[in-house]
Amino acid sequence: MIGGWRPWATEEDLHVCVVDFQGSSIKEPALADDSDRPERRLRHSSCVVQTPSGEEAILVLGGCNDRTHDPCDGLQTLLLLQTDLSDTNKLTWKKLSAGGQMPKAIWHHTADSFASRRCVVVFGGDIPTRDPEFTFIGDRAYANYVYVLTMETQQWARVQTDGYVPGWRSLHAAVTFTSFEHNCEQLVMVGGCEDRVEIFNAGKPAKMIAYALNLRTMKWRRGPERKKQNDARAVFLPAPRMRFAAQRYGRHLLVYGGHGNGTIPEDEGLLHLNSNSLVWQRATVLNEASEFGVVPAAALAAGCVIGGVQLGSRGAQPVPKLDMLVLAGPKQVSYASLGSGLLRFDFCLLELLLAEGVPVSAVHLVDSQYDPDAKGYLRHRVALAQFASWFTGRGVDVYAHYSLERYAFEARRSTALPAAVVQVDCTELTAVFEKEVKPMLEEVLQYGGLYCTLTSREGASGAGSLGSTNAWAEFWRLHPDTGRMKLESLTCFRPGDRSGTQVDVNEPLPRAVDH
């Protein structure tokens, strides 16, 4: 958690808090000796990006000082928070300068990354009236622009949009999604204020009609509006609100809390929006929050609700809140395929699992060909789009990753589900099992599950002979006491055999054979 309103804090630096789920602790890491020290702030934006050097970092943009109420630097200053995951007790801020078309101060805006985190899109927010960029968003109803940052060049561009333009917003939420149904990445935006809002103020809340911006064509589409209750096309539209928390959860946008001109209905404290259909639903909540109920101005990430305020006759008062949202029932499972290729095997296996009633709710497909720079990217992208369109309509979230690291990152942040990780005939990954695959599995299987691999290996007749390869099936689990992977079962399938032969797990495996 970065920044926020801390009226009793005396530090001038931007505050960082880390919730350690594995260690069940909250940390306030120190800054490294060579770190920059950005000023404290709130109403800024942040997202994960890939830096020009190829590393991942958290980008912080804009905001205002929560003590003086003065605006901080705008989009011309890129604040990058970098951490060594092996030592989260030390953090490093790095300040970079950006050029191009952008406001020199901005607050109440949103930002998220896209294009493999190499670009950032900023929508909405408030800027000083004297800023030259105010000319383009002063008439908020017709402000059809977003700001796009290219990380490699550190250049901003003011990009014009069309379609069902929502108008400029403040105190809203906007998150990027990959939509295989629409074959694009999109920015999904909801709520907020249509009026310009000064620092530490609010305005009239906008309707909660959802909008999605295609980040390839820069064209907006709009979700359904509320119809008359006796209309067969009636849809649920939540009460207008601002200053709510939002988090990406699979293909859904999860919305928590907020406030409007009136009281938010009790059954609308937790909502979710389908990012493809842009249709809202109330979330089913089985119990009450531990303290303070559902509050506005909280932060939500990885199912963790932190902070917020209570509104009363004395104005807004910050509350010490830490709640955990369990976002999936224990019966749901995740399926992952390493080296998934053109998906024929995964399609058939997933159909069989669903037909047997296995509650698969998320599918992660991992293959280097999903990298836009890969030679086979286009045909793999077509197969992926067809696969996703087939299964997403049946309640299965589909993700694609071009590296093990990206899969592990997404698996950690999206859901805490038991996982079945499958790898079929991928010698490239078999060769790096100990160094890369095994450490990744020890991260993603901490909530339960298993790793199944089927590998072509040398037979008894020796390498190079006709019919000299056998198929070896391995089943691994995470040992709960040690947190390390353990081989539970080993089976050898020889050509022509109807069933495999069990092999002692302590036997050395033959060499893997490529095709």
CATH of the domain at 451: 3.40.50
Residues 6 or more apart whose CB falls under 8 angstroms from that of 151 comprise: 49, 50, 51, 52, 117, 118, 119, 120
Domain boundary among 306, 324, 342: 324
Residue 429 within a domain: yes
Residue 214 within a domain: yes
Domain boundary among 265, 295, 324: 324
Cα separation, 380 vs 133, in Å, equals 41
Same domain for 479 and 444, yes or no, is yes
Same domain for 54 and 125, yes or no, is yes
Q: Hey, how many other C-beta atoms are within 10 angstroms of the C-beta on 30?
A: 11
Given a contact cutoff of 8 angstroms between Cβ atoms, the answer to whether 341 and 370 are in contact is no
Residues 6 or more apart whose CB falls under 8 angstroms from that of 240 comprise: 191, 205, 206, 207, 208, 260, 261
Coil, strand or helix at 309: strand
CA distances from 251 to 115, 180, 332, 443 (A): 17, 10, 16, 22
User: Which position has the token pair 């006759």?
Assistant: 313
Cα separation, 208 vs 189, in Å, equals 9
The three-point CA angle 437-441-445 to 5° equals: 170
Same domain for 298 and 390, yes or no, is no
Same domain for 173 and 201, yes or no, is yes
Question: Would strands 87-97 and 30-31 be described as parallel, antiparallel, or unpaired?
Answer: parallel
C-alpha torsion 296→297→299→303, nearest 10 = 10
**What's the structural domain count of the chain?**
2
DSSP string, 130-167: TSTTHHHHSSGGG--EEEEEETTTTEEEEEE-EES---
Cα separation, 149 vs 423, in Å, equals 37
Same domain for 35 and 75, yes or no, is yes
Residue 509 within a domain: no
- For the chain, the straight-line distance linking the first and the last C-alpha, in angstroms and rounded, comes to 48
User: Which position has the token pair 């059954």?
Assistant: 267
Same domain for 104 and 154, yes or no, is yes
Cα separation, 469 vs 473, in Å, equals 13
Q: What is the pTM of this model?
A: 0.79
User: Which position has the token pair 């493999």?
Assistant: 116
Same domain for 258 and 383, yes or no, is no
Residue 173 within a domain: yes
Measured over the CA atoms of residue 361, residue 111, residue 156 and residue 154, the dihedral's sign is negative
Cα separation, 201 vs 506, in Å, equals 67
Same domain for 26 and 165, yes or no, is yes
Residue 10 within a domain: no
Closest by CA position to 198, among listed 219, 171, 216: 171
Cα separation, 367 vs 340, in Å, equals 6
C-alpha torsion 143→236→245→295, nearest 10 = 130
Tokens of 302: 């990885």
Residue 376 within a domain: yes
Same domain for 344 and 249, yes or no, is no
Length of the chain: 515
HSE of 160, CA atoms in CB hemisphere, 13 A: 3
Find the CATH number of the domain harbouring 245. Answer: 2.120.10.80
Same domain for 99 and 227, yes or no, is yes
The three-point CA angle 338-341-345 to 5° equals: 85
Same domain for 338 and 314, yes or no, is no
Residue 288 within a domain: yes
Same domain for 338 and 307, yes or no, is no
| Domain extent at residue 440 | 333-502
Per-residue pLDDT of the chain (515 residues; tens, 9 = 90+): 999 999 999 999 999 998 887 778 888 988 988 999 999 999 999 999 999 888 899 999 999 999 999 999 999 999 999 876 556 678 999 999 999 999 999 999 999 999 989 999 999 999 999 999 999 999 999 999 999 999 999 999 999 999 999 999 999 999 999 876 666 899 999 999 999 999 888 889 999 999 999 999 999 999 998 765 556 567 899 999 999 999 998 788 999 999 998 788 989 999 999 998 999 999 988 887 777 888 889 999 888 899 999 887 777 888 888 888 877 655 788 999 999 888 999 999 999 999 999 999 889 999 999 988 889 989 998 999 899 889 987 888 888 999 998 898 777 766 567 889 999 999 899 999 999 999 999 988 887 889 999 999 987 654 444 456 899 999 999 988 788 999 999 999 998 888 899 999 999 999 888 76
Domain boundary among 272, 296, 324: 324
Residue 8 within a domain: no
